[in-house]
Amino acid sequence: MRVLDTATALGVRDFCRAFILFAVMVVLGVPLAYLSLEHLHDLNNLIEQDGNVNEQALRNVSGLFPVACGAALVLLFGAILALLGLWKMYKGKDEYGEEHSRDVDRGVLLCAIVIVLAILNGAAVFGTEAAAGLSGATPGSGAIAVVSSALGIVTSLMIAAILYYLVKSFLSPESTRVAYAAMGLYMLAPITSLLASAFIYPPQGYYADPPTVPFDPLWVVPEAVSAIVTAVAIILFLVLYRQVFRRLRSRETRPIWAGAEKEAQKPEEVRWQPPPSP
């Protein structure tokens, strides 16, 4: 008879599936960034001043929509799986002792902070773009890059910490080193993108309407560098979580009652004892 998986094991499995989808989404992000930048002016001119659709601009960006929809769907399904995994692990946090329960609580708290940071990041980008449009400044200016990059680095730090805390109790010394490498790479991704953007970026002339500078594919290098680093980090997390899942499923790490640790510290005469058989 097969032993049923614990809620924690099922949550880890959901995270493994989510990692696969996130890796695909990161790869799709590179052509999406390329097409978005290449057809920036077509996107800005899709709706004419009289309210009609610019058919020429729509034809030019026709290849962008399938990639954008595919990336959005992959991201959505990946996020659903990750949230399901987090819920299952929180539901079963007491299965592997008090230390693991505390680690899961830390992960859930950090997840709430990440959601707040994501909202702040979106508000900062939208607000800066709106202010730039009202003042006549160039959208995509340095203020947006600085705010988004700073929040992106902090968010990456939080996400890496969440993924570490959720499985911290199950890691061997070798697995811990893999976890540190994955965390470091995941936090490094937005930093590498920011550094690359300092040397490779569209000049102001490209944002003019009409542009005075032709499109250069090298402008997508920062996005590609960030995508590569992020994909490697996600793959490392996938390997790590698969190892944990196999360990939990094989019962190499056995579930315990969270209260057993405190119970074991009590004097023998006051420990809980099962009622005698009739």
Q: What are the domain boundaries of the chain?
A: 7-253
Which of 11-25, 58-72, 215-229 has maximum average pLDDT? Answer: 11-25
pLDDT of residue 52: 64
Q: Is the dihedral of CA 167, 173, 178, 182 positive or negative?
A: positive
pLDDT digits (tens, 9 = 90+) for 24-62: 999 888 888 777 776 666 666 666 655 666 666 666 677
Alpha-carbon gap, residue 9 to 156, rounded angstroms: 25
Say whether pLDDT at 140 is over 50.
no
pLDDT digits (tens, 9 = 90+) for 189-206: 888 877 777 777 676 666
User: What does pTM read for this prediction?
Assistant: 0.78
pLDDT digits (tens, 9 = 90+) for 84-130: 999 999 998 888 888 999 999 999 999 999 988 888 777 766 665 55
How many CB atoms within 10 Å of residue 91?
15
pLDDT of residue 154: 87
Using CB atoms within 10 Å of the CB of residue 154, give its burial: 0 to 12 exposed, 13 to 18 middle, 19+ buried. middle
Q: How confident is the model at residue 180 (pLDDT cuts 50, 70, 90)?
A: very high
List of residues 6+ apart from 231 with CB closer than 8 A = 23, 26, 27
